[in-house]
Amino acid sequence: MKKTNLMLMTAVAAFALSGCGETGNDGGGEAISYKLTPKQVWEQSCHKCHGEKAEGLTKKKTPPMNDRQAGELELDLFDVKNEGINMSSGTDHDKMAHNMKKLLDKGFNYDPTAMSKFIEKSFYVGEEAAAKAKDEETEA
């Protein structure tokens, strides 16, 4: 009898605990689906201000995005999507947070994790190369 009770309790515990853990979404209960891929968002919106190679555009006073890796970019992108709450790498996102509201209304929603990985994979040149390019641009 004790053996049966122990097995029954173990089975119930295993079943109950199988529901614990990550849900594969934002934790809000429902999975979020995005209409556009990170590449599509970049090509249709981001590159206009951040440059074809994420180098930043001096005329528009937009920062480069090719000098940071995915982890730092993810914090920045999360910050921008959440109205510049300053949880990022320390850069000022107030202007982009304002613009992001307009972009979201136009359907340019993105997953910060996926977008940061896309930017790093597609454009990352490293901090030294980005600093050198900026110096050359300043001299010209």
In tens, the pLDDT along 78-131 reads 888 887 666 555 556 677 878 888 888 998 999 999 999 999 999 999 877 667
CATH number at residue 66: 1.10.760
Q: Flag whether 4 is in a domain.
A: no
Residue 66 predicted with pLDDT over 90: yes
Residue 138 binned pLDDT confidence (cut-offs 50, 70, 90)? low
Residue 17 lies in a domain: no
Both structure tokens of 84: 């510049």
pTM above 0.75, yes or no: no
d(CA 54, CA 130): 10
Task: Answer whether residue 46 is part of any domain.
Answer: yes
Residues whose CB falls within 8 Å of the CB of residue 57, separated by 6 or more in sequence, listed in order:
49, 50, 51
Assign residue 40 a region (left: φ > 0; alpha: ψ between -120 and 50; beta: otherwise). Answer: alpha
pLDDT surpasses 50 at 21 = no
When the pLDDT of each residue in the chain is averaged and rounded to a whole number, the result is: 78
Domain contains 105 = yes
Instruction: Show the domain range for 67.
Output: 35-139
User: What's the rounded Cα separation, in Å, for the pair 47 and 53?
Assistant: 8
